[in-house]
C-alpha cells in the first residue's frame, strides 16, 4: 500500500484574518482553501464585525481566539499596529500581512507594515518603499482559484466582443469610451449594468471574445503616482477562465505572462484600440492566447502557489 506523501505544511496552525462573504469576497475563501490544501490547520477570523461579534461589539482583536503558529492578515485595516504588537506579545506566533491595495493605499500600508514579522505586497514598486522604512517586505503576486475562475458558458446574455469588469471611475470611463463602438460591455460598481458576483462574474469574463483589463489610474485621467507596477487580480482571473486578455502594460504583468503569446498589452489608448481591432478579427489568435494563459495560470498562478510561496518565505 502506497503511503501518501506528507503535505508541505502539515500541522501548521494558521489563523486567517480576511473577509469571507461568498457573494462578495471570494479571495478570503480561496486563501483558506489554499492553506488547507497545503496541510495547514486553518481557523478563519472574519475581519468585519458580523453576527454575535457585531451584536456584542467585539473588536477584531478580541475575536482572534487561541494562539497559532502563524496569523495571516489579508489587508488588515481593522487592526491597529499597536494591537498587533500586543497580540504578538500575548500569543506568540508569527504575524504576516498580505496587503492588496498598494500603491493606491501606500500611506496606509506603510503604517500597518511596521507591526508584522513579514509584509507582502503585489506591487513591486512598493517593496523598496517598505524596505526603506525598515519593513520586512516581499513581492507576492495575486492568483486565481481554479474552482471558481473557470470557463463558464452562460449563453447569449453574457456574450460580447469586448468585456470590462471593474469599478467605474473617471479615468477608466475615458478609456472605455474610446472602444465603446467595438461592442464593449462594462460590468461593475457604477456602470449602468451594475456589478456581477458569484458564477455571474465567471460568466461575464467567459462570455467575452476579449477580456479588457484597465488598471486603476491608467491613462491621461489617472494619477501616475498611484499607478504603480502591480498586476491586479483580473490579470490572473481572466487567464483562469480562459479568455484572451488585452491589458495595459503594467510592469509586473510580464513577470507572469508572456506578451503576445499569453496576453496582449497596450501602452496608450490609441494602442488599445488598434490591438482590440486586431484581436477581434483573429479567432485563431484569441484561442491560442486564451489556452496558453489558462495553462500557465493553472501551472503557476493559483492561490495555492501564492500561499506556498508566502509560507516558505515567512518560515525559512
User: Quick one: CA torsion of 185, 189, 193, 196, rounded to 10 degrees?
Assistant: 80
Asked if residue 8 lies in contact with residue 63, where contact means CB atoms within 8 angstroms, the answer is no
Give 55's pLDDT tier (boundaries 50, 70, 90): very low
More confident site: 181 or 26 = 181
**Measured distance CA(289)–CA(61) in Å, rounded:** 46
62 and 117 share a domain? yes
* Alpha-carbon gap, residue 31 to 8, rounded angstroms: 16
Clarify whether residues 219 and 162 are in a common domain: yes
What are the pLDDT digits (tens) for 4-32? Answer: 667 889 999 999 999 998 776 789 999 99
Give the model confidence (pLDDT) of 153-180 as tens digits. 999 999 999 999 999 999 999 999 999 9
166 lies in the same domain as 268: yes
Residues in the chain: 316
Distant-in-sequence, close-in-space partners of 302: CB < 8 Å, separation ≥ 6: 34, 143, 144, 145, 146
Which band of pLDDT confidence, cut at 50, 70 and 90, is reported for residue 56? very low
Indicate whether 7 belongs to any domain. Answer: no
- Which pTM does this prediction carry? 0.94
**Same-domain pairing of 236 and 108:** no
Average pLDDT rounded to a whole number, residues 37-54:
79
Domain count, the chain: 2
pLDDT in tens, 293-311: 999 999 999 999 999 999 9
| 165 & 86 share domain | no
Residues 185-196 pLDDT 10s: 999 999 999 999
Query: Hey, how many other C-beta atoms are within 10 angstroms of the C-beta on 3?
Result: 5
CA atoms within 13 A on the CB side of 6: 6
Residue 253 lies in a domain: yes
Query: Can you give the pLDDT at residue 76?
Result: 92
Alpha carbon 98 to its chain centroid, in Å, reads 11
Q: Assign 141 a pLDDT band (cuts: 50, 70, 90).
A: very high
In-domain check, residue 4: no
Judgement on whether residues 19 and 131 belong to the same structural domain of the protein: yes
Per-residue burial over 44-56, b if 16 or more Cβ lie within 10 Å, else e, is ebbbebeeebeee
Q: Is 6 within the bounds of a domain?
A: no
The verdict on residue 84 lying in a domain is yes
Query: Could you tell me the strand order of the sheet in which 245-248 lies?
Result: 184-187, 160-165, 208-213, 245-248, 264-266
What residue numbers bound the domain in which 256 lies?
Answer: 156-300
Asked whether residue 2 is assigned to any structural domain, the reply reads: no
Query: Are residues 188 and 57 part of one domain?
Result: no
Q: State percent of the chain over pLDDT 90.
A: 86
Do both 170 and 125 map to the same domain? no
Q: What average pLDDT does the segment 234-241 reach?
A: 98
Return the DSSP state at 5: P
Q: Is the domain of 187 the same as that of 296? A: yes
Q: Which three cell numbers stand for residue 230?
A: 502591480
Identify whether residues 162 and 256 lie together within a single domain: yes
Task: Give the integer Cα–Cα distance in Å for 174 and 269.
Answer: 9
Least confident of 4-13, 84-93, 133-142, 258-267: 4-13
Whether the per-residue pLDDT at 52 is higher than 60: the answer is no
Cβ burial of 170 (10 Å; 0-12, 13-18, 19+) is exposed
Q: Identify whether 103 is preceded by a cis peptide bond (ω within 30 of 0).
A: yes
pLDDT digits (tens, 9 = 90+) for 101-128: 999 999 999 999 999 999 999 999 999 9
Shared domain check, 70 and 85:
yes
What CATH number is associated with residue 102?
A: 3.40.50.2000
Number of H helices, E strands in the chain: 11, 11
- Asked whether residue 171 is assigned to any structural domain, the reply reads yes
| pLDDT at residue 3, rounded to an integer | 54
CA 181 to chain centre: 30
Query: In terms of domains, do 291 and 307 share one?
Result: no
- C-alpha distances out from residue 129 to 63, 80, 126, 192, 284, Å: 32, 20, 5, 38, 43
Q: Is the pLDDT of residue 2 over 70?
A: no
Is the residue at 148 inside a domain? no
Residue 1: pLDDT over 80: no
* Residue 53: pLDDT over 70: no
Amino acid at each position: 500500500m502506497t503511503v501518501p506523501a506528507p503535505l508541505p505544511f502539515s500541522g501548521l496552525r494558521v489563523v486567517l484574518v480576511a473577509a469571507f462573504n461568498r457573494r462578495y469576497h471570494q479571495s478570503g475563501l480561496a486563501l483558506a482553501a489554499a492553506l488547507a490544501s497545503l496541510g495547514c490547520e486553518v481557523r478563519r477570523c472574519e475581519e468585519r464585525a458580523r453576527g454575535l461579534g457585531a451584536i456584542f461589539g467585539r473588536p477584531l482583536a478580541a475575536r482572534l481566539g487561541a494562539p497559532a503558529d502563524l496569523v495571516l492578515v489579508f489587508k488588515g485595516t481593522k487592526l491597529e499596529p499597536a494591537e498587533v504588537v500586543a497580540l504578538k506579545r500575548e500569543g506568540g506566533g508569527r504575524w504576516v500581512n498580505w496587503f492588496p491595495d498598494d500603491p493606491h493605499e501606500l500611506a496606509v500600508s506603510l503604517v500597518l507594515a511596521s507591526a508584522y514579522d513579514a509584509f507582502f505586497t503585489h506591487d513591486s514598486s512598493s517593496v523598496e518603499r517598505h524596505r526603506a522604512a525598515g519593513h520586512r517586505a516581499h513581492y507576492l503576486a495575486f492568483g486565481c482559484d481554479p474552482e471558481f475562475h473557470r470557463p463558464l458558458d452562460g449563453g447569449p446574455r453574457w456574450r460580447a466582443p469586448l468585456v470590462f469588469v471593474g469599478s467605474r471611475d473617471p479615468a477608466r470611463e475615458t478609456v472605455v469610451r474610446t472602444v465603446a463602438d467595438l461592442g464593449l460591455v462594462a460590468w461593475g460598481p457604477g456602470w449602468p449594468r451594475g456589478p456581477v458576483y458569484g458564477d455571474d462574474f465567471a460568466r461575464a469574463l467567459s462570455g467575452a471574445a476579449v477580456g479588457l483589463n484597465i488598471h486603476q489610474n491608467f491613462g491621461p485621467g489617472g494619477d501616475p503616482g498611484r499607478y504603480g507596477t502591480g498586476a491586479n487580480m483580473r490579470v490572473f482571473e481572466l487567464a483562469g477562465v480562459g479568455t484572451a486578455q488585452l491589458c495595459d502594460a503594467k510592469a509586473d504583468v510580464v513577470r507572469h505572462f508572456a506578451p503576445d503569446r499569453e496576453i496582449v498589452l497596450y501602452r496608450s489608448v490609441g494602442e488599445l484600440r488598434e490591438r482590440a481591432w486586431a484581436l477581434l478579427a483573429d479567432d485563431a489568435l484569441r484561442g491560442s492566447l486564451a489556452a496558453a494563459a489558462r495553462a500557465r495560470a493553472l501551472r503557476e498562478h493559483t492561490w495555492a502557489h501564492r500561499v506556498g510561496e508566502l509560507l516558505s518565505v515567512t518560515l525559512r
